[in-house]
Amino acid sequence: MAHSFRGEHILHGNQFTRESLKEIMDQAREFESKMGSRELLEMMKGKVLATLFFEPSTRTRLSFEAAMHRLGGAVISVASGATSSAAKGETIADTARTVSQYADVLVIRHPMVGSAQEAAGAASIPVLNGGDGAGQHPTQALMDVYTIEKELGTLENITVAMVGDLKNGRTVHALSALLKLYPVDLVFVAPPALKMPGEITAELKQKGVQVTETERLENALSCDLIYMTRIQKERFSDPADYDKIRGVYVLNEEILKGTKKEPVIMHPLPRVDEIAVDVDSHAGAAYFRQVQNGVYVRMALLAMVTGAV
């Protein structure tokens, strides 16, 4: 039986199976080909997406909004917590209940871990987690899996290095949750203070994923894919701790010269200094293709959870 996403919330990387992932990827591929042939889509005409962003965002908010427009739907938006009643002390639950009266689907980004779950508990429409603090970022992980499959041609028997702030990086938390559905080897490269949370590595190992933890970027260079991440400055309580650690890993042309075969390089963006611009012209530099894929995957999610497909 096919998995129906109609009415479903998208909150956590752990909610997917290989089968349900395939359905999202197939739908995204269909939208990609329709976009390529400039087909006009109107399947979400009359539907409204609300984007509620209580933390900064460029790609996640705009790509969801672009996705909704490309499906023929409309968008209402809170682009900053400062402009909504959250600034007056309204709870996430009350906000979600309210927005449910205006929209058919909502995307929320909020600094608190579990915030999207809380919104989902109160909303009467599907809630998509656009990032809950240092918790999860499942829609990013879905576009990452879509990108990996496109770039490497498979999700089977691949080696993936995740580099940087693995403690606070919600993208890598969600991506490892999805990758554990496949036979993959993961190499986690992080300074001791920013290691992947122990419960995530334990879960991966329990699912049979081979996990290697290291501090050295060199250990990532033989992987099929290097997934770089930004040190999450906003999660540091002491700015001095951030200053000590910033710039710890920088991927540049010089380092890549040492690789036997050119890896695929991804990054959820924004980058600060983790990938030098001299890497951008490399064939394996996939981070802007990753951005483009985000629109197709988010189109698929919007259409699927609202029952438009």
Which of 22, 29, 34, 59 is the catalytic position? 59
Site string for ligand NCD, 104-143 (x = CB under 6 A): ---------------------------x-----x--x---
Q: What is the DSSP string of 183-239?
A: -EEEEEE--GGGPPPHHHHHHHHHTT-EEEEES-GGGGTTSSEEEE----GGG-SSH
- Six-digit token string for 15: 């909610």
Please give the backbone phi and psi of residue 210, each rounded to the nearest 5 degrees, phi first: -80, 120
Q: Does 290 bind ligand NCD (CB under 6 A)?
A: no
* Comparison of 100 and 146: residue with beta carbon closer to ligand NCD: 146
Q: Count CB atoms within 10 A of the CB of residue 14.
A: 13
Instruction: Look up 9 and say whether it is catalytic.
Output: no
- Catalytic residue (one of 61, 110, 137, 167): 137
Active site residue 137: yes
Query: What size, in residues, is the chain?
Result: 309
Closer Cβ to ligand NCD, 139 or 306, answer by number = 139
Give the nearest distance from C-beta 206 to ligand NCD in angstroms: 25
**Residue 60 designated active-site:** yes
- Sheet architecture: strand order including 184-189: 210-214, 184-189, 158-163, 225-228, 264-266
Find, among 158, 162, 176, the residue nearest to 265 by Cα: 162
- Does 73 bind ligand NCD (CB under 6 A)? Our answer is no
Kindly state whether residue 171 participates in binding ligand NCD, applying the rule CB under 6 A.
yes
Using CB under 6 A as the binding rule, whether residue 167 contacts ligand NCD is answered as no
C-alpha 74, offset from chain centre: 23
Catalog residues that contact ligand NCD under the rule CB under 6 A. 59-60, 131, 137, 140, 170-171, 230, 268-270
Give the active site residues.
59-60, 88, 109, 137
